[in-house]
Structure 1
Amino acid sequence: MASTSASIAPPLGKYLASTDKKTRDNAVKKLAAFLSNPGRPRMSSLEMDKLWKGIFYCFWMSDKPLVQQSLASELANILLDTDNNDTSFEFLEGFWSIIVREWDGIDRLRMDKYYILIRRFVNASFRLLMRSDWNAGLCKVYNDGLTVKGGPLCPDDNRVPSSLKYHVADVYLQELDKVLAWDSGAGDEPPPPAPLDTLIAPFLILLARTPSNHTFERVMSAVLEPLIQSLTHTGSDEPPSKKRRRFLGDEIPFVLGNSHVSTSLMTDRSSLRQSLLKQVFSIASEQETRDSNRRKLYKFWKINLDDDDDDGDDDDGARRKLDSN
């Protein structure tokens, strides 16, 4: 059975990289059918690399904005075309591997369409996790794929371009907000609340361990700072209708209104904020955290502490620990 995968994947990769658009389009359709086949044997890393090299250049040769956007969505949705989560994560791992490897070779004129492709895959990844009701085991697999050697958020792999980390950070909360969107005015049922502490964990690992000051500052400004600042807002916890979203600018109302922490079902902003700040303190305290990053994370935590009577004992204990370091 192992030869079945080897005999199909390389020719399919060649068709995907064809200069003929019709050939490429047919190959993409066959790709979805091939990967969603429940009887398909697992592909080796080498076979998946060959397949993704073909997919990468298939996307490379898409030269019209509407074609690019349609193809980006079609490729990302392959993650959801199968009920086999192993297959979905196998395909996602191949995506991040080729993106990390080829990123520095993407020219300026083509970069925008690869930005779109990354957005679509981040979005589809969230939808994949939400389909499982944010299963803790699958969320861990997803996070590990982001932070492992060769992953786009790996803090200590020099092969991962900094600009790729920046873009993932820039779009992450925006795409999560889209996935969690629902129209309260129309009576729609909200999707299952997202475990916010789990989903931002890869960025906290990156903040704790990156040797780059630029990466630290970019991730802080794109993810952690706006998230904590938004949770500080004392307005209604209920997300607005889709009709009102256009007035909210870069805010993330559905993330704020439909999230919780993995250890609690509480979704109010104050509880989320306190839990995330404790998470910041916790990772700052870890042995693997770089000393310079530890100091900056402690400073961020201390500045953003609330004088909440319910959490006073925990905060006092954390302050004593901080003062002793």
Structure 2
Amino acid sequence: MTDLQKTPFVKELASSDKKLRDKATDSLIHFLRSRTDLSLIELLKLWKGLFFCFYHSDRPLTQQALARNLSYTLVPTLPRTSVHRFLRAFWITISRDFHSLDRLRLDKYLFLIRCYIGVAFSVFVKGDTPKKPETKATKKRKAGKKEAGNAKKRSSKQRAADATDEDEEEGADDTTAQNGKWDALESYISIIEEGPLCPLNFDPDQPAADEKNDYVPMPHGPDGLRYHIMDIWLDELEKVLEFEAGEGDDEEETRKPKGEVPMDLLLRPIEKLRVESPTKQVRIRAKEALDDERLIEWGFKERKVESDEEEDSEQEWGGFGDD
């Protein structure tokens, strides 16, 4: 695993040749889907290679395509058992190395961060859930289908047994999803709160890295990273929400999302910044994000009504009258 960041498919991800880049993306997806046992330490080594691969992509279209491949193409295909660990490795890498980015390369990393905010909402809010790895029963059934002769000879009893295995597995997954509908989202929000949207820039009580127990502390990142995430948070959330038309004449004022949206959970990291951040500017930016007009349009907040006293105090002073 230590040499994975130097393997050809990692380097080829930044190629200007689309065919070569797509092939490298497929190789990366195949590797990550087949290795559900990768530790956080191993994923961090992989992300070190991906980070510098992205660092050396030098054309705008190549940069944008690579950012989408590493996010929207890759993340929804990850096994459920490793998706949070992979996202944690991403945020550790970004929070740790964000301060080292020069002005010329900053924009493409801001776009990559935007893609990762968006794909996480797509997976955990919209429901584009990561695919589970194939079970032994599924692999056995697929192998049997490739052999026409063997498939014809299979007894109806065996086919029924295979189908029962699959139904039981899918039923268990459905039950888990219903019992804890937003558990995966809350786990992801906790990663964000622990890392880039943590109120503290430095936590002296944070445990040191412990590779034996597969633990690496989450860097909190500079305030510039916080500002960017807060600026795009609702933008990316809006892209995954589906809206129904309101009853009023002005649709923008009655624009309601379809289905359940756990907005309190989604806004929790920003609310913590507003209340707990020791930096005044961070608290101001968090308040501005929470006062976004879209939260009123979507029905999650009510518009503040100014009192008569506040209106009188804001009236322009007319100066001293003539005696």
The aligned residue for residue 155 of structure 1 is 199
Matched, 1:114 2:109: yes
The residue matched to 2:291 in structure 1 has which SS?
helix
- State whether residues 69 and 116 of structure 1, in contact with CA within 8 Å, keep that contact through their aligned partners in structure 2: yes
The AA in structure 1 aligned to 2:287 is M
Q: What is the Cα deviation at residue 176 of structure 1?
A: 0.6
Q: What is the Cα deviation at residue 230 of structure 1?
A: 4.1
Aligned length: 225
Q: What is the Cα deviation at residue 192 of structure 1?
A: 3.8
Of residues 87, 93, 102 in structure 2, which corresponds to 1:92? 87
The AA in structure 2 aligned to 1:31 is L
- State whether residues 17 and 24 of structure 1, in contact with CA within 8 Å, keep that contact through their aligned partners in structure 2: no
The aligned residue for residue 39 of structure 2 is 44
The residue matched to 2:81 in structure 1 has which SS?
helix
The AA in structure 2 aligned to 1:179 is V
Matched, 1:140 2:219: no
Alpha-carbon distance in 1 for matches of 2:37, 2:13:
29
The aligned residue for residue 167 of structure 2 is none
Q: What is the Cα deviation at residue 67 of structure 1?
A: 1.1
1:1-325 residue pairs with structure 2 within 5 A? 6=1, 9-12=4-7, 15-17=9-11, 21=15, 26-37=23-34, 40-77=35-72, 78-82=74-78, 84-129=79-124, 130-131=126-127, 135-148=181-194, 151-158=195-202, 159-181=220-242, 192-221=259-288, 223-226=289-292, 229-232=293-296, 256=298, 269=299, 272-273=300-301, 304=304
- State whether residues 67 and 115 of structure 2, in contact with CA within 8 Å, keep that contact through their aligned partners in structure 1: yes
Summarize the Cα distance change of 1:139–1:62 in structure 2 as closer, same or farther, 3 Å threshold.
Answer: same
The AA in structure 2 aligned to 1:213 is K
Structure with more contact order per residue of length (Cα contacts < 8 Å, sep ≥ 6): 2
Gaps of 5+ in 2: 130-176, 203-219, 246-256, 308-323
Task: Name the structure with the higher helix share.
Answer: 1
The AA in structure 2 aligned to 1:117 is L
- State whether residues 14 and 53 of structure 2, in contact with CA within 8 Å, keep that contact through their aligned partners in structure 1: no
Summarize the Cα distance change of 1:75–1:162 in structure 2 as closer, same or farther, 3 Å threshold.
Answer: same
TM-score normalised by L of structure 1:
0.61
Q: What is the Cα deviation at residue 209 of structure 1?
A: 1.4
Gaps of 5+ in 1: 1-5, 185-189, 233-252, 257-268, 275-302, 308-325
TM-score normalised by L of structure 2:
0.62
- State whether residues 9 and 24 of structure 2, in contact with CA within 8 Å, keep that contact through their aligned partners in structure 1: yes
- State whether residues 72 and 116 of structure 1, in contact with CA within 8 Å, keep that contact through their aligned partners in structure 2: yes
- State whether residues 32 and 81 of structure 1, in contact with CA within 8 Å, keep that contact through their aligned partners in structure 2: yes
Alpha-carbon distance in 1 for matches of 2:103, 2:2:
36
Alpha-carbon distance in 1 for matches of 2:29, 2:290:
36
Larger radius of gyration: 2
The AA in structure 2 aligned to 1:224 is L
Greater Cα offset, 85-94 or 164-173: 85-94
CA RMSD of aligned residues (A): 3.0
- State whether residues 13 and 66 of structure 2, in contact with CA within 8 Å, keep that contact through their aligned partners in structure 1: no
Summarize the Cα distance change of 1:115–1:183 in structure 2 as closer, same or farther, 3 Å threshold.
Answer: farther
Alpha-carbon distance in 2 for matches of 1:273, 1:116:
29
Summarize the Cα distance change of 1:15–1:230 in structure 2 as closer, same or farther, 3 Å threshold.
Answer: closer
- State whether residues 40 and 86 of structure 2, in contact with CA within 8 Å, keep that contact through their aligned partners in structure 1: no
Alpha-carbon distance in 1 for matches of 2:22, 2:95:
25
Summarize the Cα distance change of 1:191–1:43 in structure 2 as closer, same or farther, 3 Å threshold.
Answer: farther
Q: What is the Cα deviation at residue 20 of structure 1?
A: 7.6
- State whether residues 10 and 24 of structure 2, in contact with CA within 8 Å, keep that contact through their aligned partners in structure 1: yes
Greater Cα offset, 59-68 or 97-106: 59-68
- State whether residues 72 and 120 of structure 1, in contact with CA within 8 Å, keep that contact through their aligned partners in structure 2: yes
Alpha-carbon distance in 2 for matches of 1:106, 1:28:
24
The AA in structure 2 aligned to 1:79 is V
- State whether residues 16 and 57 of structure 1, in contact with CA within 8 Å, keep that contact through their aligned partners in structure 2: no
The aligned residue for residue 312 of structure 2 is none
